Amino acid sequence: MSAETNASRTGNQHPRLQEFLFSAKRFLKNPLTIVGLTIIMAFAIVAIFAPVIAPPEKPDDPFQIPHDGWMMEPQPPSLEHPMGTLPQQYDIFYGLVWGTRNAFKIGLLIVLANLVIGVLLGAIAGYFGGVVDEVIMRVTDMFYAMPFLVVAMAIVVVIGKGLTSIVLVLIVLGWRTYTRVIRAEILLIRDKDYIQAARASGASHMSIIMRHILPNSIFSVLIVASMNIGTTMLSAAALSFLGLGSDIGYADWGAMVSEARNWIVGPANARLQYWFVVFIPGFVITLFVLGWNLLGDAARDVFDPKQRRR
């Protein structure tokens, strides 16, 4: 029999551990993955050690960027301000360092919330079908029909501008994708015999969903989610840039670019005089998004069952 077919089997490790090691190995094989991982790790370190890298002047409100006077004209990088200053002399370096924490919060929090809402609704719709499915999916369609900016402005009007509104907008409009993806996936496996076998053994709906349906359908959603962390960051930055985000002086990358809006182009004789106000925060945002996208690609390669070994 096929007892010895698995020659690669190493020792007596638990198969789940083996599976994990196998995935990890594939994960690390791709050089682009290493690049993505390095970028994200670097950002994570900056976020964790923010108080050391850029000690706050007011420890109880570290996200408030300290400013050096009220002069409107941004100042180029100097010893005192290694990345220059924004209008009103807000320190760019400080803003970027503490902004990293906000970036992680935005990306992860929003995607996590979207995942939970989307998977829950999609799983219920796909598994139970019928009227339940119809209702949930039509509501999802309604959310698909909502224009991004209009919803964003509506929410800002209601609860005021700030990072919270941006997070809310992206949660309200983000879950719909996951609902559709997981529902489609569940429709594929809902009538497989192992689901019926579980039912024939008396399993409850809850345990069928948790033990059989989700483990076999969640991976496509996880892939979408990992690719979406970067995109979500971009959307948040865009909203901040449009002025729906935080007030001036708050350590949020998008908001920092927004504050520099009037200084993007320099005077006629030196167009690039204020390059640092847009380029440096913009570059950091790009790097962050790139890191997550590379990781997302890697996650797809590893988890996509259709591309896996048999």
Partner 1 sequence: MSKKTENLIDIRGLKKYYPIHSGVFRKHTADVKAVDGIDLTIRKGECLGLVGESGCGKTTMGKTILRLHDSTDGRVYFDQSPEKIEELEAKVAAGDLDAATKKELSQADILSYKGLSLKELRKSIQIVFQDPSNSLNPRMLVKNIIAEPLMIQGILKGKELEDRVVELLETVGLSRQHLRRYPHEFSGGQRQRIAVARALATNPKFILMDEPTSALDVSVQAQILNLLKKLQDEYELTYLFVTHHLLVVKYISQRVAVMYLGEIVELSETEDLFARPLHPYTRALLSAIPDPNPENGTEKIILTGDVPNPLNPPTGCRFHPRCPYATEVCRTKEPVLESAGEDHQVACHRWKEMA
Query: Is 8 among the residues that bind partner 1 (CB under 8 A)?
Result: no
Interface stretch with partner 1, choices 28-36, 68-76, 199-207, 284-292 (CB under 8 A): 199-207
The residue from 82, 160, 215, 243 that contacts partner 1 (CB under 8 A) is 215
Query: Is 197 among the residues that bind partner 1 (CB under 8 A)?
Result: yes
How many other C-beta atoms can be found within 10 angstroms of the C-beta atom of residue 138?
9
Query: Is 14 among the residues that bind partner 1 (CB under 8 A)?
Result: yes
Q: Where are the alpha helices (DSSP H) in 77-213?
A: 92-128, 130-144, 148-159, 163-189, 193-200, 205-208
- Judge contact between 175 and 117, C-beta under 8 A: yes
**Which amino acid would we find at residue 32?**
L
Q: Which long-range contacts (CB under 8 A, 24 or more apart) does 39-46 make?
A: 39/287, 39/288, 39/290, 39/291, 39/294, 40/288, 40/291, 40/292, 40/295, 43/100, 43/103, 43/104, 43/287, 43/288, 43/291, 44/104, 46/97, 46/100
Query: Is 138 among the residues that bind partner 1 (CB under 8 A)?
Result: no
Report, in Å, the least distance between residue 178 CB and partner 1.
20
Nearest residue (CB) to partner 1, 189 versus 248: 189
Helix axes 92-128, 275-303, angle to 10 degrees: 30
CA–CA distance, 139 with 195 (Å, rounded to integer): 27
User: Binding-site residue total for partner 1 (CB under 8 A)?
Assistant: 25
DSSP tally for the chain: helices H, then strands E: 12, 0
Nearest residue (CB) to partner 1, 98 versus 127: 127
Nearest residue (CB) to partner 1, 65 versus 218: 218
Nearest residue (CB) to partner 1, 166 versus 195: 195
Nearest residue (CB) to partner 1, 211 versus 261: 211
Q: How far apart are the first and last CA of the chain?
A: 18
Query: Is 207 among the residues that bind partner 1 (CB under 8 A)?
Result: yes
Query: Is 6 among the residues that bind partner 1 (CB under 8 A)?
Result: yes
Query: Is 29 among the residues that bind partner 1 (CB under 8 A)?
Result: no
Query: Is 199 among the residues that bind partner 1 (CB under 8 A)?
Result: yes
- Judge contact between 221 and 185, C-beta under 8 A: yes
Report, in Å, the least distance between residue 12 CB and partner 1.
9
Query: Is 187 among the residues that bind partner 1 (CB under 8 A)?
Result: no
Query: Is 190 among the residues that bind partner 1 (CB under 8 A)?
Result: no
Q: Which residues bind partner 1 (CB under 8 A)?
A: 1-3, 5-6, 14-16, 192-194, 196-203, 207, 211-212, 215-216, 310
